[in-house]
Homo-oligomer: A and B are copies of this chain.
Amino acid sequence: MGDLSTTDRTRHRRLREQGRTGRQELFDVLGAGFVCHLGVIVDGAPMVVPTVYGFDSEHVYIHGSVASRSLTGEGRTVCVTVTHVDGLVLARSVFEHGVNYRSAVIYGVPRALEGEEKLEALRLLTEHTAPGQWEYARRPNRKELAATTILAISLEEASVKIRQGPPDDADDPHDVWAGVLPLSTTWQAPVTDPSAGHDVPDHVRRRAGTRIG
């Protein structure tokens, strides 16, 4: 595995000790979630919207429609950020309070996919978000595919930041309890659509009780 690029944007300027440079760490952060925050520029102002994503070793894939207002113009850089909040860092001083987290930031110029490449990216995105559903659900027909824009963004320019562990102010004279309050995100029991028949399929049922993030 190579290292992540360090362009001017992704070189860590602040909190350098939280920076990570390994590609595997990027894949780990991307693999741990399915919703990213996409940043685009609309009429000169930043716009940040949540959207689902998928990825492979080269690209992150998103639906283009979420960015329709801004991505009609070609060649514009966007920012894709994936964040997992792992816990609250409760320090001795308010100043040292913080969050344990893992975060990936990717910059790139989106490319709209067509044909086989588009279908494969949509499969990746679907299977990353809802594993097993590409086989189980009805795949897109010609009309639905035409109505779907899938964008690929290169993983070449990316950075990962991770903060873990206890607070950093063990030497603070304020002598109180300090530690971390962890957060856990878990899939719950499936809720069947009242208008649907059939039992919950195994590939959905077995996610219940498992953690994400």
Q: Give A contacts to B, CB under 8 Å.
A: 8-9, 13-14, 34-35, 37-50, 52, 65-66, 68-69, 77-81, 83, 85, 87-88, 90-95, 97-99, 101, 103, 105, 107, 122, 126, 129-130, 133-134, 136-140, 144, 147-148, 166-167, 170, 172, 174-201, 204, 207-208, 212
- Contact partner of A183 (CB less than 8 A), chosen from B93, B134, B212, is B212
Determine whether the beta carbon of B166 is less than 8 Å from that of A179.
no
Which residues of chain B are near A8, meaning CB under 8 Å?
A: 43
Q: Please, which residue of chain B has its CB at the minimum distance from the CB of A185?
A: B185
Q: How far is the CA of A45 from the CA of B40 in the complex (A)?
A: 8
Determine whether the beta carbon of A37 is less than 8 Å from that of B48.
yes
Least distance between A98 CB and chain B CB atoms (Å)? 8
Which residues of chain B are near A77, meaning CB under 8 Å?
A: 44-46
Which residues of chain B are near A93, meaning CB under 8 Å?
A: 137-140, 144
Determine whether the beta carbon of B186 is less than 8 Å from that of A52.
no
Least distance between A7 CB and chain B CB atoms (Å)? 11
Determine whether the beta carbon of B47 is less than 8 Å from that of A79.
yes
Which residues of chain B are near A185, meaning CB under 8 Å?
A: 183-186
